[in-house]
Amino acid sequence: MAASMRSIGRLFCRTNLLHQSLQAVRPGHVTLPAIRSHQVGTPCMQLNRQFCTPVSPEKDVADTLDALSRYKDRPWEYLESEEYIERYGTRPVWSDYRRNHKGGVPPQKTRKTCIRGDKICGNPCPICRDPNVIIHYQNVKLLQQFVSPYTGLVLDPTRTGVCMKQQKRLNQAVETARDHGLMPLQVPHVDFSGQDYSNSHAAVGNTPPAPVKTSEPWYYWYGTLNPDDREVARVKKIYKDYLKK
Amino acid sequence: MAALTALRGLLRISSRVRDTHLLSRATPSASSDRCLCSAARANVSFSDPEVQQLLKRVTGCDLQKVFRPTQQPTLRPPSYKLLTDQQLQEAVSLARREAEELLAPPPELEERVPVCDVLSHDAILQGADSAKLVFTDITLNIPHRERFVVVREPSGALRKASWEERDRVLQIYFPKEGRQLTTPTLFTDDNLKVALSEGRHEEVLRRSLVQFEPDAAEYKRVQRLVYEDVERRGSFDLLRSTRFFGGLVWFLTNGKRIDALLLDMLHRDLVEDAVCLVRLFHLLHPQSDSAQQASNTHTSGLDLIKLYCQSDSQQRGLIELALQTHQQATALSCA
């Protein structure tokens, strides 16, 4: 009897909490519903206070909220902060992460995502486990940790341990950063020898006026053009089997 | 209102007259790249062999910088060879020849004239389509500059495509490696400033060469910004031994602002390069005092630099000081 009352109370509590959690879930981060203070006097609330246990302690929620608000607008500041240096030092963010999998060979794709709704998996990837590590195209120092210094390619997720969703966001951020010129991009060498930039051809220059005498062609190639005999012979030789006799 | 239009018409006519006047006076060159100065000064173009030789001397050829390791998607392990002295010399000369090709400067062209020719106007087609139709000639073996790209407007006019439309359409049908359809955000003023403040001038210029045509207005703008930033910071060494140093020297000499570069060369003991720079200045501005005096007296070497700094330079004191220190250093080393 008491147990069933307790379970009913917990159900009431949870539904109330869901209604009152107005905070939107940010992708890639754990957001815990806010605990609002209940009004005193209503019998329903009294029941809740008696039987309700909060989903998580107040302290953790406050911490997460604080952290989210602190580096949300300027994510690059976290990489200069003391807590980052204490936690990671000079090593990259993914250096001390190890995937859990069966057997010697890891699956060639990491997990699809670490965070589904409010729930975070066990052993989350290096980006999901630290809510202060935010992927942003201006956060160049973080992005550089995931790019190989020798090839310039983004490192494979099987090496860094990042989940597939964050890897996709990482690729997009690196591409945006290179587009903005914040990260270096290797371009091929362009050869300009043997090109004519005179712009004298009618295609790009001025159109000559239409001829006054209608017998004259407007451009010289509108009239009869005699093809080069050697070119014709060469093409005929290539397509000899297909030509009608 | 009528007076304004009349004035505008007058200006247009006068400008056309002036342009034809200039064209008739100028000697025609094989390629149409001419210096940006008016025809009253020398008719020296960027592609003249004398100018190219001077620019090549000034650029230098630091093999360590030209063949420095870069980021490549496919890496190979290094190969080690055992060579005799003669084979080593041959390998070095081969490397120098390859470096010369890599250091060939991109062409300096005049800004391209906008294309706005209407080929025909068929009013019967008005409202037939709500969108513009672009017709491109995709024959394989014609150069892109001879390719016809025309646009049929919804109003029925058939006109030649503008330069931007041409570039975009040619990139769709004949894509070039590294070039994007839309301009990268790197080339906005703010992002350029950020990139230049980090000292990545060469990368910016390389990317602009890949993205734009050498006679495009955008390329000219980016080039000018980068060169002005280099001159302001005095970081000429960033571009030395790259293919862009020739363009930098050409830009500065045309604008008569070679003092900072001259000082930098003298501080680094590159006296032959300084002499070449002053000779280029005299080639481009033969009406200047130092050029006339030099041609009269046939001076050469350090005296040429002294002549320049006496007549035409704005930072006379600094250049004379640098020359003095260099002479003292040479005297000490000789003694």
User: CA B306 to CA A15: how far, in whole Å?
Assistant: 89
pLDDT string in tens for chain A (245-residue length): 555 555 554 544 454 444 444 444 444 444 444 444 444 444 444 444 555 555 555 555 545 544 466 899 999 999 999 999 999 999 999 999 999 999 999 999 999 999 999 999 999 999 999 999 999 999 999 999 999 999 999 999 999 999 999 999 999 999 999 999 999 999 999 999 888 888 888 888 888 777 887 788 887 777 887 889 999 999 999 999 999 87
* Residue B22: pLDDT over 70: no
pLDDT score recorded for residue A221: 76
Burial B163-182 (b: 16+ CB within 10 A, else e): bebbbebbeeeeeeebbeee
The pLDDT mean for chain B works out to 87
| Structure confidence at residue B183 as a pLDDT band (50, 70, 90) | very high
pLDDT score recorded for residue A44: 45
* Residue B153: pLDDT over 70: yes
Which of A150, A179, A200 is closest, CB to CB, to B75? Answer: A150
- A207 CB neighbours in chain B (<8 A) are 117, 119, 160
Q: Which of A188-202, B29-43, B191-205 is least confident?
A: B29-43
* Residue B45: pLDDT over 50: yes
> Which of A148, A190, A191, A235 should we substitute to test contact with B (largest number of B Cβ atoms within 10 Å)?
A190
- Contact: A198, B75; criterion CB under 8 Å: no
pLDDT score recorded for residue B106: 95
CA dihedral for A68, A74, A79, A80, sign (positive or negative): negative
User: CA B43 to CA A199: how far, in whole Å?
Assistant: 20
Could you tell me if A118 and A56 are in contact, meaning their C-beta atoms sit under 8 angstroms apart?
no
> Which of B111, B145, B198 should we substitute to test contact with A (largest number of A Cβ atoms within 10 Å)?
B145
pLDDT score recorded for residue A203: 86
pLDDT digits (tens, 9 = 90+) for B242-257: 999 999 999 999 999 9
pLDDT digits (tens, 9 = 90+) for B313-328: 888 888 899 999 999 9
Residue with the two structure tokens 């704005």: B314
DSSP state of A26: P
pLDDT score recorded for residue A52: 52
pLDDT score recorded for residue A227: 86
User: CA A6 to CA B334: how far, in whole Å?
Assistant: 101
Give the pair of three-digit tokens for residue A195: 């090109």
pLDDT score recorded for residue A245: 73
- Contact: B106, A204; criterion CB under 8 Å: no
Number of cross-chain residue pairs from A and B with Cβ atoms under 8 Å apart: 95
Of chain A residues 16-45, which have a CB less than 8 A from chain B? none
pLDDT score recorded for residue A105: 95
- B186 CB neighbours in chain A (<8 A) are 179-181
The nearest CA of chain A is from the CA of B139 a distance in Å of 14
* Residue B18: pLDDT over 50: no
pLDDT digits (tens, 9 = 90+) for B70-102: 999 999 999 999 999 999 999 999 999 999 999
| Structure confidence at residue B203 as a pLDDT band (50, 70, 90) | very high
Q: Does A210 touch chain B (CB under 8 A)?
A: no
The residues near B22 (Cβ < 8 Å, ≥ 6 apart) are B38, B39
The residues near B44 (Cβ < 8 Å, ≥ 6 apart) are B35, B51, B283, B284
- Contact: B214, A192; criterion CB under 8 Å: yes
| Structure confidence at residue B167 as a pLDDT band (50, 70, 90) | very high
- Contact: B147, A200; criterion CB under 8 Å: no
- Mean pLDDT within B197-224: 96
User: CA B9 to CA B154: how far, in whole Å?
Assistant: 29
pLDDT score recorded for residue B162: 94
Q: Burial of A217 by CB count in 10 Å (0-12 exposed, 13-18 middle, 19+ buried)?
A: exposed
DSSP assignment of B183-219: PPGGGSHHHHHHHHHTT-HHHHHHHHHHHS-TT-HHH
Complex-level ipTM: 0.82
